[in-house]
Chains A and B, each alone.
Chain A
Amino acid sequence: MAELHAQTLTELAAGLRAGKFSSVELTRHFLERISKYDAELNAFITVTSELALAQAADADARIAAGTASALTGLPLAHKDIFCTDGVLTTCGSKMLSNFVSPYDATVVTRLKQAGMVMLGKTNMDEFAMGSSNETSFYGAVKNPWNLAKVPGGSSGGSAAAVAARIAPAATGTDTGGSIRQPAALTSLTGIKPTYGRVSRYGMIAFASSLDQGGVMCLSAEDAALLLQSMSGFDVQDSTSVDTPVPDYSATLNQSLKGLKIGLVKEFFEQGLSNENAKPVREALAVYEQLGARLVEVSLPNLPLSVPTYYVVAPAECSSNLSRFDGVRFGYRCDNPRDLQDLYTRSRGEGFGSEVKRRIMTGTYVLSAGYYDAYYLRAQKIRRLITEEFANAFKQVDVLMGPTSPTTAFDIGAKVDDPVTMYLNDIYTIGANLAGLPAMSIPCGFLDGLPVGLQIIGGHFAEAKLLNVAHGYQQVTDWHKRMPERYA
């Protein structure tokens, strides 16, 4: 039997069911790995060892009693953006460094009810604003493939934890690429579902029309298993969609013969180094061998997705983050002179520099005299981009291309230039603007650093994406590679 941490969630579930090990043993194994490796990775903000062992004991009792679900007894880590009852929930910010959530997010509730064991809360860019996990109040996270490199962001802690096998899976959130880009940079399978598929209740808001929760794990099979439990209608989220959740695992093995794959012309034209395009093109050749057909499609306004996003997302963020006022929860400055001083200093001292930059960008584009020129215009272009995607899906089943323009870059390389940092999300943002489901799967390495293949589908096509990803993972083994240091 392979070491516990070398197994996928699906394999671990089978081992638990067969009585090869208990959930307590499994949980202890991962907690030991966290205490051994996390000092160098900084993937966790909070480790909930006692709670995890108690949940594992409960899970073992459920398995013994025959009342277990497919996920009972399996450990996972939650991104620290998800509220967890009675547990510190910081969102990577000094502003919430003292916040003990009084309730669980719906995602947390559902996975808890399924019997999953929470190992802890993972590090992230502050309020999910960043592409390198360097904006966290809790410090940068290291990439397990090379500790001098970033793991991507904003779900960088979740990515590093799973890549280093100190957690078998983790939740993430994706507003502009925050699941897919770190998944690509650390060689994981990550999926951002359709907007409205997974409840946003208790997921701390950044840009509410773009935010969506999802998972980061070792295979499409694992993603199907997790997404099954996380998805579905939630009355607590006013944008949750009341559409039945299909059985994601049931269609994983469907043949890919005749699959029409759209190659977005603009994806391959924009700033992608030829070197980086190579593993992606090789992956496309594998799909052709599996019987798929490649079709070039054009989305002429897609190159505008970055500027569109950097109007829409900051605008929504400036509104969402106005709730932090130093009064009801969160950081409160010392000795405020008056109410105005309480507000401005609590916010000025509690938010980090990137969050302040985005709040101010948003405040500016929404301010009187500039609203039409920036915000309204961006919303119109958002429609153009969305319509272009819809047209593309009339011709093809899925779109494919690179997830990220480069492999993982050096820690500190881009922190001084926000615009360069923003361009990391050039391939991922379109799916958020249009609300589409999208994945990143490992498709190779360049100089020892992972490269991700992005797969985008039409609204609610999660089952198709997982099927397409699984087909590739049946004939390749990139997703099974793990960093030697953590083997």
Chain B
Amino acid sequence: MSLTRKDVEAIAHLARLAITEEEASLYADSLSRILHLVEQLNAADVSTTEPMAHPLAGLVQRLRADEVTATDQHEKFQLNAGKVSSGLYLVPKVIE
């Protein structure tokens, strides 16, 4: 399976990544090579195999009691944000 520059641009859009035309050409080449490597998977017979999402069989995701465990630290957390005002994260205008 080979990808074109156009394919890569479509994938980059889905992944919300701005890439240049030059990068798109380079990625078309390297992603095609990766997909070629991945084609080896077609050799295995998996007709009766169940997919495995997790390495430890029988492990279930725990639930915790619905109790407040965290304290309000939004000022500390927002020190890492690019733009905040009055406790809100600022982004470009979405609705005109």
Which listed segment binds B: A11-19, A321-329, A404-412, A469-477?
Answer: A321-329
Asked whether B53 is an interface residue with its Cβ less than 8 Å from the other chain, the reply is yes
The main secondary structure of chain B at its interface with chain A is loop
Q: How far is the CA of A303 from the CA of B14 in the complex (A)?
A: 31
Known: A241-B59, A330-B80, A360-B8. A349 touches B52 (CB 8 A): no
Total interface residues in chain A, CB < 8 Å: 75
Distance in Å from the Cβ of B85 to the closest Cβ of chain A?
A: 13
Do B79 and A100 touch (CB < 8 A)? yes
Q: How far is the CA of A360 from the CA of B46 in the complex (A)?
A: 26
Known: A328-B80, A344-B17. A336 touches B27 (CB 8 A): no
Inter-chain contacts of A327 with B (CB < 8 A):
81-82, 89, 91
Asked whether B68 is an interface residue with its Cβ less than 8 Å from the other chain, the reply is no
Which residue of B31, B76, B89 contacts A361 across the interface (Cβ within 8 Å)?
B31
Mark out the residues of chain B between 31 and 76 whose CB falls within 8 Å of any chain A CB in the assembled complex. 31, 33-44, 46, 49-56, 59, 61-62, 64, 73, 76
Name which residue of chain B comes closest to A195, CB basis.
Answer: B55
Q: How far is the CA of A326 from the CA of B83 in the complex (A)?
A: 9
Which residue of A357, A360, A377, A436 contacts B41 across the interface (Cβ within 8 Å)?
A377
Total interface residues in chain B, CB < 8 Å: 52
Name which residue of chain A comes closest to B40, CB basis.
Answer: A307
A305-327 interface mask toward B, CB cutoff 8 Å, 1 = contact, 0 = none? 01110110000001000100111
Which residue of B30, B37, B61 contacts A357 across the interface (Cβ within 8 Å)?
B30
Do A102 and B77 touch (CB < 8 A)? yes
Do B18 and A347 touch (CB < 8 A)? yes
Distance in Å from the Cβ of B17 to the closest Cβ of chain A?
A: 5
Do A342 and B19 touch (CB < 8 A)? no
A329-350 interface mask toward B, CB cutoff 8 Å, 1 = contact, 0 = none? 1101000111111111101110
Do A376 and B18 touch (CB < 8 A)? no
Name which residue of chain B comes closest to A351, CB basis.
Answer: B17
Do B55 and A435 touch (CB < 8 A)? yes
Which listed segment binds B: A21-29, A278-286, A380-388?
Answer: A380-388
Distance in Å from the Cβ of A93 to the closest Cβ of chain B?
A: 14
Do B46 and A364 touch (CB < 8 A)? no
Known: A332-B82, A357-B31, A422-B37. A342 touches B92 (CB 8 A): yes
Known: A99-B80, A330-B80, A332-B82. A347 touches B16 (CB 8 A): yes
Which residue of A209, A301, A361, A381 contacts B34 across the interface (Cβ within 8 Å)?
A361
Binding site for B on A (CB under 8 A): 98-100, 102, 194-196, 209-210, 235, 238-239, 241, 301, 303-304, 306-308, 310-311, 318, 322, 325-330, 332, 336-345, 347-349, 351, 353, 356-357, 359-361, 363-365, 367, 374, 376-384, 386, 417-419, 422, 432-436, 459
What are 10 of the A-B contact pairs (CB < 8 Å)? A209-B55, A239-B56, A239-B61, A328-B77, A329-B77, A341-B18, A342-B91, A344-B18, A357-B27, A383-B49
